Amino acid sequence: MTTPIVAAPDGFSLPDEQRRLIKWTVYLGFIVLAVGVLNGLDQALNYAHIDIFRFFPGMRTYYQGLTAHGVFNAIIMTFAFANGFVAMAVARGLGMKLNHGLLAASFWTILVGTLLTAGAIVNGTASVLYTFYPPLEASWPFYLGLALVVISTWITSANLFVTLAKFRREHPGQRIPLLAYMGVVTYVFWDISSLGIVVEVVVFLLPWSLGLWHGADPLVDRTLFWFTGHPIVYFWLLPIYMSWYGMIPRQVGGALFSDSVVRISFLLFLIIIPIGFHHQFVDPGVSRELKYAVAVLTFAVFVPSLMTAFSVMYALEIGGRRAGGNGLIGWFFRIPWKDPSVCAQVLAMLAFMLGGITGLMNASYTMNLEIHNTTFVPGHFHLTVGTAVALSIMGIAYWLVPYLEQKELWSAKAGLVSSWLYFIGVLIFARGMISGGLAGMPRRTAISLVPYAEPPGWRLAGILVGVGGSLMFIGAVLFFVVIAMTVLAGKRTEIADIPYSVTLVTPQTSGWEPGLDRLRYWIVASVLLCVIIYGPFLASQFPLQLNVPGFRAF
């Protein structure tokens, strides 16, 4: 028997004014993405020794461009997309409208935050990159803006919790529908994860930029940053998993084989938050034992992604076989490749397999010593956030924008060309970044300006990065054309519902499985592990050394 994973399987639509707010939240993400992507072209060409920085306002130097690229794409776009998409999916999953005041508050907060942060980057007072490590110092609007961007996600969380509480009151004894479950766990996970960066920015960096502290404590600030900076990557990823689990099976005519596997995978992400130290393997001042414990936990967080890989692959296989595909891999060619939404997301999954493998390499301590701070790392993360996430968001947009606008997609063909260009581009780009990194090419460096003879391997790597990055850029531009034309010139149509998956096995209401929905126990487990890993380290840092003066390099 197949069971829908939504509470209102026969259709539910959000009130128009809520749909409008969700639309503008998502569009804010797309606008920011467009600026970020433009700032990606200059970065990629830099590796091929082509310097276009001087031609564009807002990216006059390498570091200004890199800050814009990282902050806009990786922080603001992803958060805006999550605030809109996840809220919409939770509402749909529960079959209930959201709290309107909170939805509006979240939108305005992220809008003001974006304007403040963008203003500081564009006027050149915040070229501190997306990790903003002190003692590099930015002007206060940068930090305040980022704080507001994070607060907008907390407001969205509040909205999800209020709506879920109402659902539980009205449907006592029922399991949380899977689509809503994934969204709520994503935000609970993020609420805990974001505490590090909030303390760093609100307690230390913002007052410091206003002259209230006289210096910064770089190790403590870096540690707080990576407390959040690691799990942030799953806050980017989990909304995409919602689509891969909760929507893609439906879009390919398949089904999810297990409801519980999905919930367990999300709970594993929720529990394994405190592994940010794997970004600090080379930091002095962090003990060997702590680094070892975190390396082991990092391998553990590989598991829920492997579970996802197998579940989603099986869902694709069911769809492909139902469409007449057979043999070991014949089904793979029978999924609807002509649907740009499916095509983009399956290509994103393929890229993510390589992203996952490179992640495992990063996590291995001895390998990390080899590749840390080299271009290997951007090679890894353009396969993960840069493709698994970004290309999936483009794929989702191919049905989401038509749904939000009630208009037909402008050109499916252009969407397909865009997806393939982006995918082929990232493979070339990442090949360049990864081989360059293995040859010692540093990341975050204006390679086009290095005054010494390049070591072997750098030249070819740089050219591949330039060529691959340009293809990704062209693919992304085509995506924006499709979306803009859909909004401006799409034919009116009526799209009643979003795609949502069915599961082969009904969610159980007895036995151990309902325990997966008792979120408070899992939250306690998650917080406990954070305290065990971070508590002793942070306690050992007192009294804090707030004495390193800030400086502006660019």
Q: Which residues bind ligand HAS (CB under 6 A)?
A: 131, 233, 236-237, 278-279, 298, 301-302, 305-306, 308-309, 312-313, 332, 349-350, 352-353, 356, 359-360, 362-363, 368, 372, 377, 380-381, 384-385, 389
Would you call 382 a catalytic residue per the annotation?
Answer: yes
Would you call 230 a catalytic residue per the annotation?
Answer: yes
Nearest Cα neighbor of 21 from 106, 134, 131, 79 is 106
Would you call 269 a catalytic residue per the annotation?
Answer: no
Give least dist CB 446 to ligand HAS, A: 17
Pick the catalytic residue: 60, 372, 444, 552?
Answer: 444
Residue 531, CA distances (Å) to 197, 451, 534 in order: 16, 47, 5
**What does 308 bind: ligand HAS, Cu ion, none (CB cut-off 5 to 8 Å by kind)?**
ligand HAS
**What does 306 bind: ligand HAS, Cu ion, none (CB cut-off 5 to 8 Å by kind)?**
ligand HAS
Would you call 234 a catalytic residue per the annotation?
Answer: yes
Per residue, the 3-state secondary structure of 144-179, as one string, reads HHHHHHHHHHHHHHHHHHHHHHHHHHHCCCCCCCHH
Based on the shown chain and the rule CB under 5 A, indicate whether residue 230 belongs to the binding site for Cu ion: yes
**What does 134 bind: ligand HAS, Cu ion, none (CB cut-off 5 to 8 Å by kind)?**
none
Pick the catalytic residue: 230, 250, 263, 279?
Answer: 230
* Angle of the 412-438 helix axis to the 376-383 helix axis, nearest 10: 160
Question: Closer to ligand HAS at the Cβ: 175 or 278?
Answer: 278
Question: Closer to ligand HAS at the Cβ: 332 or 480?
Answer: 332
Phi and psi, residue 92, nearest 5°:
-65, -40
Question: Closer to Cu ion at the Cβ: 87 or 272?
Answer: 272
- Please give the Cα distance from 342 to 265 (Å, whole number): 22
* Angle of the 412-438 helix axis to the 458-489 helix axis, nearest 10: 160
Give least dist CB 291 to Cu ion, A: 13
Question: Closer to ligand HAS at the Cβ: 131 or 174?
Answer: 131
For residue 362, what are the contacts with CB-CB under 8 A and spacing of at least 6?
A: 278, 368, 371, 376, 377, 380
Per DSSP, the three-state class of 216 is: strand
Cis (ω within 30 of 0) for the bond into 543? yes
Give least dist CB 287 to ligand HAS, A: 17
Q: Measured on CA atoms in the order 507, 342, 333, 351, is the torsion positive or negative?
A: negative
Element (H, E) at 10: none
Cis (ω within 30 of 0) for the bond into 456? no
Pick the catalytic residue: 175, 380, 473, 479?
Answer: 380
Would you call 278 a catalytic residue per the annotation?
Answer: no
Pick the catalytic residue: 376, 381, 422, 479?
Answer: 381
**What does 352 bind: ligand HAS, Cu ion, none (CB cut-off 5 to 8 Å by kind)?**
ligand HAS
- Please give the Cα distance from 391 to 475 (Å, whole number): 10
Per DSSP, the three-state class of 272 is: coil
Would you put residue 490 in left (φ > 0), alpha (ψ -120 to 50) or beta?
A: beta
Cβ-proximal residue to ligand HAS, closest one:
356
Please give the DSSP secondary-structure letter assigned to residue 449: G
Give least dist CB 233 to Cu ion, A: 6
Give least dist CB 92 to Cu ion, A: 31
Based on the shown chain and the rule CB under 5 A, indicate whether residue 382 belongs to the binding site for Cu ion: no
Total number of residues binding Cu ion (CB under 5 A)?
Answer: 1
Burial class of residue 520 in the structure, from the number of CB atoms within 10 Å of its CB (0-12 exposed, 13-18 middle, 19+ buried)? exposed
Question: Closer to ligand HAS at the Cβ: 340 or 359?
Answer: 359
Show the CA angle centred on residue 410, arms to residues 95 and 319, nearest 5°: 55
**What does 162 bind: Cu ion, ligand HAS, none (CB cut-off 5 to 8 Å by kind)?**
none
Would you call 380 a catalytic residue per the annotation?
Answer: yes
Give least dist CB 45 to ligand HAS, A: 20
Give least dist CB 206 to ligand HAS, A: 22
Element (H, E) at 319: helix 302-322
Pick the catalytic residue: 53, 130, 189, 234?
Answer: 234
Question: Closer to Cu ion at the Cβ: 297 or 318?
Answer: 297
Would you call 241 a catalytic residue per the annotation?
Answer: no
Question: Closer to ligand HAS at the Cβ: 125 or 305?
Answer: 305
Pick the catalytic residue: 222, 279, 334, 443?
Answer: 443
Question: Closer to Cu ion at the Cβ: 378 or 468?
Answer: 378
**What does 381 bind: Cu ion, ligand HAS, none (CB cut-off 5 to 8 Å by kind)?**
ligand HAS
Q: Judge whether 355 and 384 are in contact, CB under 8 Å.
A: yes
Q: Judge whether 166 and 501 are in contact, CB under 8 Å.
A: no
DSSP β-bridge partners for residue 374: 442
- Please give the Cα distance from 434 to 452 (Å, whole number): 21
Give least dist CB 512 to Cu ion, A: 31
Pick the catalytic residue: 63, 250, 382, 422?
Answer: 382
Give least dist CB 495 to ligand HAS, A: 26
**What does 175 bind: ligand HAS, Cu ion, none (CB cut-off 5 to 8 Å by kind)?**
none
The encoded tokens of residue 157 equal 């969380």
Phi and psi, residue 249, nearest 5°:
-55, -40
**What does 380 bind: Cu ion, ligand HAS, none (CB cut-off 5 to 8 Å by kind)?**
ligand HAS
Based on the shown chain and the rule CB under 5 A, indicate whether residue 69 belongs to the binding site for Cu ion: no
- Give the binding site for Cu ion (CB under 5 A): 230
Residues marked active site are found at 230, 234, 380-382, 443-444
